[in-house]
Amino acid sequence: MANTHDRIRAIVWRDEALELLDQRLLPGKIEYRRLTDVEAVAQAIRDMVVRGAPAIGITAAYGVVLAARARYRQSLDSWSSTIQEDLKALAAARPTAVNLFWALQRMENVVAALDDAQDYDPTAPLLREAQAIHAEDIAANHRMGQLGLELLQASPGAVLTHCNTGSLATGGYGTALGVIRSGFAAGAINQVYADETRPWLQGSRLTAWELLQDDIPVTLLADGAAAYLLKHNQVQWVIVGADRITANGDVANKIGTYNLALAAHYHSVRFMVAAPSTTIDMSLPDGTHIPIEQRAAEEVLSVAGQSIAAAGATAWNPSFDVTPATLITALVTERGIVHHPTTEKMARLLTDKH
């Protein structure tokens, strides 16, 4: 079942460069952007050529490889100190996704280990680490798919998802969409609903495209229709991803997730969050401490560059919201499942041996 409904890879290292599937062009055009320097990688993250917390972290790791190669060629003696500027630029690209900082820390650990061998080309060991981060993410996604499937099999039926959490948002297979892939392949899911996800329309442009590429039927709905769908007992589970999870189990995810959690709670629909353990930030006690990225008003006031709002209107455009742990039925990670997360349960998840 491992390769069932799983053909898409949005991040590819090929011929000494990073290639990213430009998600801004989907579904109308499939085009990979070839990046050969760290500045282009940071810009691609900011511009949402690549998006999704795990994918951002993986992309940044490959960005460090490009940065180290360039710095080493510029100066054999000082590459490990000058590369710190590149690490800071990558870290500043998207502030909410904790996977970005986790991946950069792993890469920085390799940089530090190489510091005593200044005349040694750092490209190869850093590339090995970036590729390990990439491979570990895919493996974690398959594990989450298996664990999530166990929950789905106990109550099979239709599911609703929000934003994009699949191969486009990760190294491959996906978090919430990985669970959905596993559930569909096993017959535990008979219908997938997807919110359109304003203002970037990741649901309609990306999730629908990705599922259809892998022969999984999908039904789109306007974000505002989700509560009404849940009222009609059409959905057994709402399944979403996460960009950051705090010590008590609060979850930052794409704006609109909190709405879904409230509606699911009211209508007694189970609410699942699927995310790798690297998304958990135990340094933050709860969701009130999560930095929420505010994006340009034009994203709300226009669609595909075409203005849709009355002239003179302004917009409030947070990219994420925070869902309290009290609204979450199950948090699925590659390390295990946390039912109804609490601070104690989250700590146990990360300290137990697996």
Side by side, the strands of the sheet bearing 336-339 are 219-221, 189-195, 157-161, 237-240, 270-274, 330-333, 336-339
- The length of the chain is 354
Q: What CA–CA distance (Å, rounded) separates 329 from 243? A: 18
Catalytic entry in 86, 137, 214, 243 = 243
Residue 81 is given by DSSP the state: H
Residue holding tokens 């946390």? Answer: 338
Q: What CA–CA distance (Å, rounded) separates 112 from 110? A: 5
How many Cβ atoms are within 10 Å of 134's Cβ, its own excluded? Answer: 25
6 assigned to active site: no
pLDDT tens-digit profile of 156-175?
999 999 999 999 999 999 99
Q: What CA–CA distance (Å, rounded) separates 68 from 122? A: 7
Residue holding tokens 């709670």? Answer: 265
Give residue 1's pLDDT: 42
Give residue 2's pLDDT: 46
Question: In the chain, where do the E strands start and end?
Answer: 11-14, 17-21, 32-35, 157-161, 189-195, 219-221, 237-240, 244-246, 251-254, 270-274, 280-281, 302-303, 306-307, 320-323, 330-333, 336-339
User: What are the residue ranges in the chain where pLDDT is below 50?
Assistant: 1-2
Give residue 74's pLDDT: 86
* pTM exceeds cut of 0.85: yes
Give residue 98's pLDDT: 87
